[in-house]
Amino acid sequence: MNAFALRPWSLGLALYAACLGSAFAATPAAAAPPPAAEAAFDDGPYIRYGDGELIARWVCAGKVLERRYPAARWPVRVPPRCGFERPILVRAPAQPPADAADAAAARIAALSDVHGQYDLLVRLLQAHGIVGRDLRWRYGHGHLVVVGDVFDRGPKVNQALWLLYSLEQQAREAGGGVHYLIGNHEAMALGGDLRYVNPGYQRSAAALGETYPQLYGPDSVLGQWLRTRPAIARVGGLLFVHGGISPDYLAGDGDIERGNALYRASLGTPKAVWQDDPRLSPLYNGKTSPIWYRGYFTDPALQREQVDAIAARLGVSRIVVGHTTHHHIASYFDGRVIGVDSGLKNGESGEILLVEDGRFSRGALDGGRLPLLPGERLRDED
């Protein structure tokens, strides 16, 4: 094991190592897609921390390219080859940040469920002045929240991850923030459930001689970074979480900081392991966990008083969630809940929630601002 892998930053390394074998024994390997469904694309980089160096690999025009970069001081610049088109400044492995009680913010932009639709993500961020034409942070002291599910479905997951990784540091230097939250598809993909992984990534992983989850293992730059992400965050008096905080979850432990610590330590745990662990099953079960819950939009028995009580217990004015797809960003329970999954995953349209000095609006792809609209009751999904 290399020197970096022994550092204390990897809270879940022991758990990951213990269950890695069962991840793929317990979860059937995804069947190879038929030739017509296979899609090749330039991909990368996948960067690992080595012993005093970084090891970067790409799959360019079907061929593996590897480069090594000395890591005598941080950050280390990795120039583009193919895949992500910008240079990457790789930072040293870091401890997960402590969960702040709240992050004050006069301006907040939030979206969710990117699902590999990197081009739409960039269009929205540029249209609303969050990044410039050069893809660098232009939002000053503002905060960008990505409410989970960058992984799966689309063909540019890795580009979206590197963009958010880069913007996080740029935002911090400008006095703002980027908050990327764990969603159910991060948990699925890293835990070996590959049903929704784009076929192109299956081919890239095979070319690199690894499984798809191993590309984001704890010794990789993005894998280590992902294992420092929270699942629940408070920003500007709002609570952000991918699925939602259900009454059942809150009736259990319900503590945000402890929940985030468990998510960070267990990200990548396969279902065969977490479903039998009483500490982890409330985090990953498919109905009432924070990354899977849909009840705000689908449960006809849920009352405004219950939602008010959840918000009051958590000390926030509103709850902002993704996961459940709407035609547009939608308001529920008189604005107490806002659903920001506006269908980006389909690759055709999408919106971004904008909060400016307490005023809420929907940001369109053309840069226009639209009022929040009430949502409709939705049918439960798998």
pLDDT tens per residue, range 114-127: 999 999 999 999 99
- Count how many residues are written for the chain: 382
Pair 354, 363: CB distance under 8 Å: yes
Inter-residue contact 292 to 184 (CB < 8 Å): yes
pLDDT of residue 96: 77
pLDDT at residue 20, as a whole number:
40
Q: Is 8 exposed, middle or buried (0-12, 13-18, 19+ CB in 10 A)?
A: exposed
14: which residues sit within 8 A by CB, 6+ positions away?
Answer: none
Residues of 247-269 as b/e, b for ≥16 C-beta within 10 angstroms?
A: bebbeeebebeebbbbbbbbbbb
Query: What pLDDT score does 174 carry?
Result: 97
Which of the four pLDDT bands, split at 50, 70 and 90, describes residue 380? low
- pLDDT > 90? residue 101: no
How much of the chain exceeds pLDDT 90, in percent?
Answer: 81
Residues 341, 325: contact at Cβ < 8 Å? Answer: yes
Q: Is residue 116 within 8 Å of residue 150, measured between CB atoms?
A: yes
Residue 10 has pLDDT above 60, yes or no: no
Q: How does pLDDT run across 313-345, given as a tens digit for each residue?
A: 999 999 999 999 999 999 999 999 999 999 999
- Distances in Å between the alpha carbon of 347 and those of 115, 189, 323, 330, 343? 9, 20, 16, 19, 8
Contact 372, 361 (CB under 8 A): yes
Instruction: For residue 122, count other CB atoms closer than 10 A to its CB.
Output: 18
Looking at per-residue pLDDT, the higher value among 70 and 357 belongs to: 70
Largest Cα–Cα separation, the chain: 58
Average pLDDT over residues 240-255: 92
The pair of three-digit structure tokens given for residue 143, joined into one six-digit string:
């905060």
Q: Domains of the chain by range and CATH?
A: 4-36+94-374 (3.60.21.10)
pLDDT in tens, 25-75: 334 444 444 443 456 699 999 999 999 999 999 999 999 999 999 999 999
Q: Is 335 left (phi over 0), alpha (psi -120 to 50) or beta?
A: left
Residues 6+ apart with CB under 8 A from 134: none
What pLDDT, on a 0 to 100 scale, did the predictor assign at position 6?
35
Residues in a beta bridge with 220 = 48
Beta bridge partners of 235: 103, 238
d(CA 151, CA 268): 13
Q: What does pLDDT average to over the chain?
A: 89
- Give me the pLDDT at residue 286, please: 84
Lowest mean pLDDT among 212-226, 241-255, 356-370: 241-255
Q: What's the pLDDT band for 381 if we cut at 50, 70, 90?
A: low
The strand order across the sheet containing 238-241 reads 232-235, 238-241, 318-321, 337-339, 330-332, 373-374
Give the pLDDT confidence score for residue 15 in this predicted structure.
41
Indicate the range of 79-83, 102-106, 129-133, 272-276 predicted with least confidence.
102-106
pLDDT in tens, 232-244: 999 999 999 999 9
